């Protein structure tokens, strides 16, 4: 068989991947938690993921999708920040 026949279909599939107007992939909240877990810079930040994602998930039904995306990006920023210092035990505020 000639491989040339599959080339146009493969090129069309690749072009679809680069379509800037295409919808983003669907993720579950659990998949988001897993992805954030891979970004966590410390154990403390890893331990925060479940609570932060839960709070965002609860807000999601009331807020525009763009706002939820911003919330997710902010969570990722905090989780991946190697300079983040915070305390759960009534210490100084998280910075």
Q: Is residue 35 in some structural domain?
A: yes
With a CB cutoff of 8 Å and minimum separation 6, the contacts of 86 are: 44, 93, 94, 95
Q: Is residue 94 in some structural domain?
A: no
Q: Is residue 1 in some structural domain?
A: no
* 45: nearest Cα among 91, 82, 90, 16: 82
pLDDT value at position 24? 80
Average pLDDT, stretch 24-34? 92
pLDDT digits (tens, 9 = 90+) for 31-70: 999 999 999 999 999 999 999 999 999 999 999 999 999 9
pLDDT value at position 6? 62
Residue 35 lies in domain: 27-81
Q: How many domains does the chain have?
A: 1
pTM (2 decimals)? Answer: 0.67
DSSP structural state of residue 24? P
Q: Is residue 76 in some structural domain?
A: yes
pLDDT value at position 95? 45
Q: Is residue 45 in some structural domain?
A: yes
């Amino acid at each position: 068989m000639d491989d040339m026949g599959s080339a146009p279909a493969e090129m069309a599939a690749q072009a679809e991947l680069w379509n800037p107007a295409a919808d983003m992939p669907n993720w579950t909240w659990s998949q988001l938690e897993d992805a954030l877990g891979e970004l966590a810079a410390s154990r403390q930040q890893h331990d925060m993921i479940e609570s932060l994602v839960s709070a965002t998930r609860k807000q999601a039904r009331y807020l525009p999708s763009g706002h939820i995306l911003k919330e997710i990006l902010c969570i990722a920023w905090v989780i991946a920040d190697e300079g983040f210092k915070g305390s759960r035990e009534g210490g100084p505020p998280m910075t």
